[in-house]
Amino acid sequence: MTNGYDGDHLDFRGGEFTGPFTAKAEYHEHGPAPTALDALPARAVGFTGRDGELRALLDAFDPSAPERPAAVLVAAVSGLGGIGKTALAVEAAHEACGRGWFPGGVLFMDLHGYDDDPVTADQALEALLRALGTAPEHIPATADERAALYRSTLAERARERGAVLILADNASSPEQVRLLLPGNTRHRLLVTSRNKLPQLNARLLSLDELTPEEAYALLDRALRIADPSDSRVADGAEAAAELASRCGHLPLALQIAAALLVLDRDKPVAELVAELTEFRNRLTHLDDGERSVRAAFDLSYRRLPPEQARLLRLLSLAPGPDVSTEVVTVLTEADAPPTRALDALTRTHLVERGNGRGRWRLHDLVRAFGVGVVARVAGFREEGEAARERVLEFYYRWADAADDRLRWLPGMPEPERFADRAQALEWLDGERAGLVAAVQWAAEERYADAAVRLAACLAEYLEWRRSFDDGITVSRAAREAAHRAGDRHREGDAWNNLGLALWQMGRAEEAIDAHTRARDLYQATGNRYREGTAWTNLGLALWQAGRAEEAIDTLTRARDLYQATGNRYREGTAWTSLGLALQQAGRAEEAIDAHTRARDLLRTAGNRHHEGMAWGNLGLALEEAGRVGEAVEVYGKALEIFREFEDWYRAGHTLHNLALAHQVAHRPSDARACWLQAADAYTRANAPTEATQARTRAEEQL
């Protein structure tokens, strides 16, 4: 007997049968396979902020917008772990579907790109084909065949139902996503990733942390969702702002912080802030049992190649909010800048571009993560300590060279590293935050000596830039380290520099105490030169405090000491300071004589900048003596020098005095011109208060 199966019937033709027989067949009607085209996750409860980013995604996918490049077929949202990429993508998808842009449905796929076993492209295609209603037995075996069927199925879907949105969440590489690109341009692919994915020719959208206002709103909304009467954020706005800052304005960290507050209804916001104050342990607290900032970062860190992982660890130890490529090279002890590794880390959002080209920064919580990784492994700690030593020595060498250039006078050997003051100031300006932060490593014995030496190199610069808060911070760190080490000479230097910064801020009594301590330390070490400096500075602080007679006695002692040692430059500075005290005591002619002597001595010593200061002080004395015409001429000499040195603050102060002299001489138009020039100079010196006052005085002359 022969028979065959043909389609949906049995073929008995040609068969030979003896006796009766019965044929039994089963018929199965296969309906279409189920689809999963409405699988979009629910919106994030309490979604806050991101208005601009949401508009950007919707604008990219708006079918009614004018013709756009094919790149809008794909949008890729990237950012640091915990930055809120998925929440934004889901929100945008819901909004787009609500507007009727994707009648064909939404496909959602979590690619688990940073897990130990990420979804491969062919696995993703299989899942998406199933979601589109393809029966398992009809899904091809190879990735390319699956991709072809996927595109064909989407094209059919477009004809029957309309455009489809594919949301591929948590991709770690272009390879995971490339085969998911729909062939039909009506469809859209939305990808989220911790990495930037420029290889997809996509519309790229990088997410930053929330603004302070958005972070505050997220905290408040999260608490009120749990309990509408919970007003802890609104009642403690300042503490809430500090909490948001401690969380780095990172959505995941903020959500965890809110959950911790919800779990403990009686816990004040300020108490949680206090728990997050310790930088090294911050990530320990940002864990609510289900979510952890450290775990989120660890997923990214474990995928890094060894070179990039090491670079991230060392960057977490760098001083200041951002660092230059030059400092990164020193940290890593590389022969050349590790540019490729830095670029790779920026693509993962673990490293960000800093304030200017060639500068790099870490998010505060990424920095805390890196510090924690270093602390847990002995080998990493040793590597980190050596790196910090290299940075301190590098900073000291260059800051010392810059300081030499700032203090250089004609006749002295030319400094080698910087051709002029402008170059020295440019380097110091670029590295200032890092330099100030590095000095504070003086609290650790291993770094104390180098940090104290570095502090001494910054005093002139910080005074020049009028960064008095930084001057106080640096001097106090150096003073405490030198005291612990028993180095009385350097402790005296630190007290002296501290006193100068305090004096510039108008804190005369504190400055008097600081310079008195410096004087005593110099006397104890027998350093007559430094002792004279301390006497001079003490005299200025006494003058500022209105203690004219004490200031005169103190400055006379400083002058005599310098005369005895033959130091004309220092004698000149003592004379001009003495002139100020004499003027305060009402001894105008003696003050004029003192300033004249100072001017001549400083000119002879070749210190043109300090000569300008003596000219300015002489102008004050002449004006007070009623010799206004001479004062105007003298102020002009001072102004010329300050402009030459680009000392804009003192230029503004001189123009201020010149304007007053013109007012005394009843020349309002000249006074107004000087007030306006003073405002400009103060603006260039970053002295906005003085600039505003000068502009107000100019208006009064109209």
Report the C-alpha gap between 190 and 58 in whole angstroms.
11
What is the full DSSP assignment across 434-489?
Answer: HHHHHHGGGGSHHHHHHHHHHHHHHHHHHHHTT-HHHHHHHHHHHHHHHHHHT-HH
**Cβ count near 558 (within 10 Å):** 27
Predicted confidence at residue 12, as pLDDT, reads 43
Residue 415, pLDDT score: 87
User: pLDDT value at position 15?
Assistant: 52
pLDDT at residue 67, as a whole number? 57
Looking at the predicted structure, is the pLDDT value of residue 600 above 60? yes
Cβ(318)–Cβ(327) below 8 Å:
yes
CATH number given to 295-376: 1.10.10.10
* Residue 293 near residue 250 (C-beta atoms within 8 A): yes
7 pLDDT tier (thresholds 50, 70, 90): very low
Domain definitions of the chain by residue range: 51-206, 212-291, 295-376, 387-526
Q: Taking a C-beta distance cutoff of 8 angstroms, is the pair 106, 167 a contact?
A: yes
Per DSSP, the three-state class of 263 is helix
Q: Are 286 and 322 in contact (CB under 8 A)?
A: no
- In one letter, which amino acid is 200? L
pLDDT at 6: 42
In CATH, which superfamily holds the domain spanning 51-206? P-loop containing nucleotide triphosphate hydrolases (3.40.50.300)
Angle between the 528-544 and 488-504 helix axes, to the nearest 10 degrees?
20
What pLDDT is attached to residue 35?
Answer: 59
pLDDT for position 2: 42
User: What tokens does 129 get?
Assistant: 């084909």
pLDDT at 27 over 50: no
Q: What would the mean pLDDT of 620-637 be, rounded to a whole number?
A: 94
Please report the pLDDT score of residue 19 as a whole number: 54
Radius of gyration of the chain (CA): 36
pLDDT for residue 5: 38
Position 66 pLDDT exceeds 90: no
Tokens of 594: 């003192």
Q: Tell me, what's the pLDDT at 22?
A: 46
Please give the average per-residue pLDDT across 481-495, as a whole number: 97
CA nearest neighbour of 429 among 466, 375, 382: 466
Residue 25 has pLDDT above 50, yes or no: no
The stretch 25-51 carries a mean pLDDT of: 67
Query: Do strands 352-353 and 359-361 pair parallel, antiparallel, or not at all (unpaired)?
Result: antiparallel
Query: How confident is the model over 443-454, as pLDDT tens digits?
Result: 999 999 999 999
- Residues 526-553 have a mean pLDDT of 96
525: pLDDT strictly greater than 90:
yes
**pLDDT, tens digit, 9 for 90 and up, residues 629-688:** 999 999 999 999 999 999 999 999 999 999 999 999 999 999 999 999 999 999 999 899
Whole-angstrom distance, CA of residue 699 vs CA of residue 361: 44
Helices (H), 169-304: 174-177, 212-226, 232-235, 237-246, 251-263, 269-275, 282-285, 293-301
Strand partners, 353: 360
Specify the pLDDT at position 23: 42
Burial zone of 589 (CB within 10 Å; 0-12 exposed, 13-18 middle, 19+ buried): exposed
Distance, in Å, from the CA atom of 649 to the CA atom of 694, rounded to the nearest integer, reads 12
Share of the chain above pLDDT 90, in %: 83
- pLDDT tens digits for range 211-244: 999 999 999 999 999 999 999 999 999 999 999 9
Distance, CA of 120 to CA of 146 (rounded, Å): 13
The four Cα atoms 515, 521, 525, 527 give a dihedral, to 10 degrees, of 0
Phi, psi of 118 (to 5 degrees): -65, 155
The number of C-alpha atoms within 13 Å of 590 and in the hemisphere containing its C-beta is 12
Residue of 479 and 37 predicted with greater confidence: 479
21-30, 104-113, 588-597: least confident range: 21-30
The pLDDT of 573-587, averaged and rounded, is 96
Helices (H), 585-687: 588-605, 608-624, 628-644, 648-664, 668-684
Measured at the CA of 64, the angle between CA 63 and CA 65, to 5 degrees, comes to 95
Q: At what angle do helices 468-485 and 421-439 cross, to 10 degrees?
A: 60
- The Cα 239–Cα 269 span in angstroms is 6
Beta strands 9-11 and 74-78 are: unpaired
When pLDDT is averaged across residues 594-601 and rounded to a whole number, the result is: 97
CA dihedral (293, 295, 297, 302) in degrees, to 10, reads 170
How much is the pLDDT for 9?
Answer: 45
What CA–CA distance (Å, rounded) separates 471 from 436?
Answer: 9
Q: Which of 167, 165, 188 is nearest to 124 (CA)?
A: 167
